[in-house]
Chain A
């Protein structure tokens, strides 16, 4: 079977190009009356204050860190999942052991991530 990945790119490109006229038509027919107030960032009617990209506490940063680890593990499990019949029961047992080992640090990481006072 040929790869066929290029068709995904083709459909993505077609969708993007198909969206182009819908943006161009308003540029032609819609009124253009820019004003400083209109171009200001939207803050519910108040005068925008300070920077748009504000600094604030990433209270839930721990979940992002966990994602980096567990996304890789999930894809690793896929490699096993598809071939689970071919490689037989021993491999399945090893994977179950692997998951059992994984649960302990995962529980600890979840416990730490839920403690918002340390982040």
Chain B
């Protein structure tokens, strides 16, 4: 049945829902009677501690009994990976960031849609975007490298997700607390240009190819200032463990001790994230959408979500390194210290994200040779100066270690 208009589309969706409902008992009943009992043993492994299989079966009958199971489940690694400091949380913040960014730009540039779609402040705009992307045909260019092209959204998501694992939301809520967390962050970040380059190459089209090469030049050039400006923090904290770095800032955030390093790190982060004024890899007037030009429908949507997950993770990294992570005045009752920490981290991260969004509405794009000169000739030397400042601060003993 060809889809000509919106009515046909709704009919098609309802048709699929109908057939899924018709065939679902065939799947669900075997699941309940055969697979579920064997799954119970697996869940018992996943949730260590006092919770047994019988408790889970009892919770199915009585929802109140599921509360201790949930609290046990929240301590597992799986919960951390899938839900709270991990993927779902980041995807929610990324969606929120897209909405905030569109509204901010709409307010700055008087765009209509994001301001009025939906009854209240354009909240329906992300849903409209999602529906539009899902209903679009996925087009693969004729001469594209098909395997690489299909892999790019998943690779982008994987890299964004990997970055989430090391950013500590609070002392307890961190997926993995590594002794070399800062170096791991930079190691994961070095995958960004590879993905952009492969995307450009796989599309086998001129605009994505040029965009991919520009992304390579830009990210590679700004990685050195990024590394060296964060070295100041490592010298001050005497550790590469991100949790320890935050704990060193319990009395004074490193932003006040290392303002120069923070500025260099912030600018280099903007370049790594391809945000205006450093959005050369996806310059709209010149390169259409840069290395994402040939992506269509949900391939583009997933890549864009990955970009925003990355955005959140790197803003979180800035918060961790310079703004004192989860430390802040106690606004909640003392017994809710964890919630307080999470709130402060989120507020600081969102503030950093908004600060990175504002130039998109107010600044122009920088020329590529000036960008490379600024990265290598200015920021790199400022980062070295910042290291000397850090050495002096440590020798004078200003920051408690």
Asked if chains A and B come from one complex, the reply is yes
Residues of A bordering B, CB below 8 Å: 1, 3-5, 7-16, 18-20, 22-23, 25-34, 36, 38-44, 48, 51-54, 58-60, 63-64, 66-67, 70-71, 74-75, 77-78, 81-85, 89, 92, 96, 99, 103, 106, 110, 113-114, 116
Describe B's contact surface by its main secondary structure. Answer: helix
- Selected from B2, B153, B213, B216, the residue in CB contact (under 8 A) with A19 is B153
- Selected from B166, B182, B217, B294, the residue in CB contact (under 8 A) with A64 is B217
- Contacting residues, chain A, for B154 (C-beta < 8 A): 16, 19-20
The answer to whether B2 and A31 touch across the interface, beta carbons within 8 angstroms, is: yes
- Contacting residues, chain A, for B309 (C-beta < 8 A): 15
Interface locus among B21-29, B48-56, B260-268, B297-305: B297-305
The answer to whether A40 and B81 touch across the interface, beta carbons within 8 angstroms, is: no
- Contacting residues, chain A, for B206 (C-beta < 8 A): 41, 43, 52, 54
Interface status of B376 (Cβ within 8 A of chain A): yes
The answer to whether A5 and B87 touch across the interface, beta carbons within 8 angstroms, is: no
- Contacting residues, chain A, for B298 (C-beta < 8 A): 22-23, 25-26
The answer to whether A11 and B86 touch across the interface, beta carbons within 8 angstroms, is: yes
- Contacting residues, chain A, for B47 (C-beta < 8 A): none
Q: How far is the CA of A13 from the CA of B302 in the complex (A)?
A: 15
The answer to whether A78 and B238 touch across the interface, beta carbons within 8 angstroms, is: no
| Chain B residue with the shortest CB-CB distance to A89 | B395
Interface status of B227 (Cβ within 8 A of chain A): yes
Given A1-B179, A7-B165, also A31-B158 (CB < 8 A)? no
Q: List 8 A-B contacts (CB under 8 A).
A: A11-B86, A13-B158, A15-B162, A16-B161, A19-B305, A22-B302, A43-B206, A81-B235
12 other A-B residue contacts (CB within 8 Å) besides A16-B155, A52-B205, A114-B373 = A20-B154, A23-B302, A26-B137, A26-B138, A31-B137, A33-B2, A43-B205, A71-B224, A82-B235, A85-B238, A96-B388, A110-B377
Q: How far is the CB of A74 from chain B (nearest CB, A)?
A: 4
Q: How far is the CB of A13 from chain B (nearest CB, A)?
A: 7
The answer to whether A42 and B231 touch across the interface, beta carbons within 8 angstroms, is: no
- Contacting residues, chain A, for B372 (C-beta < 8 A): 60, 63, 113
Q: How far is the CA of A3 from the CA of B133 in the complex (A)?
A: 40
The answer to whether B16 and A28 touch across the interface, beta carbons within 8 angstroms, is: yes
The answer to whether A41 and B301 touch across the interface, beta carbons within 8 angstroms, is: no
- Contacting residues, chain B, for A1 (C-beta < 8 A): 177, 179
The answer to whether B87 and A29 touch across the interface, beta carbons within 8 angstroms, is: no
Q: How far is the CA of A32 from the CA of B1 in the complex (A)?
A: 11
Given A8-B162, A22-B134, also A74-B82 (CB < 8 A)? no
The answer to whether B177 and A4 touch across the interface, beta carbons within 8 angstroms, is: yes
| Chain B residue with the shortest CB-CB distance to A48 | B205
- Contacting residues, chain A, for B153 (C-beta < 8 A): 19, 23
Interface status of B257 (Cβ within 8 A of chain A): no
Interface status of B204 (Cβ within 8 A of chain A): yes
The 10 A-B residue pairs with the shortest CB-CB distance, nearest first, are A15-B161, A41-B205, A52-B204, A4-B176, A12-B162, A12-B158, A7-B176, A74-B227, A11-B165, A16-B154
Q: How far is the CA of A4 from the CA of B168 in the complex (A)?
A: 14
| Chain A residue with the shortest CB-CB distance to B1 | A31
Q: How far is the CA of A70 from the CA of B379 in the complex (A)?
A: 14
The answer to whether B369 and A60 touch across the interface, beta carbons within 8 angstroms, is: yes
Q: How far is the CB of A100 from chain B (nearest CB, A)?
A: 10
The answer to whether B240 and A78 touch across the interface, beta carbons within 8 angstroms, is: yes
Interface status of B328 (Cβ within 8 A of chain A): no
> Would you give the 0/1 interface string for B218-261, flagging 1 where the beta carbon is closer than 8 Å to chain A?
00110110011001001100111000000000000000000000
- Contacting residues, chain A, for B302 (C-beta < 8 A): 19, 22-23
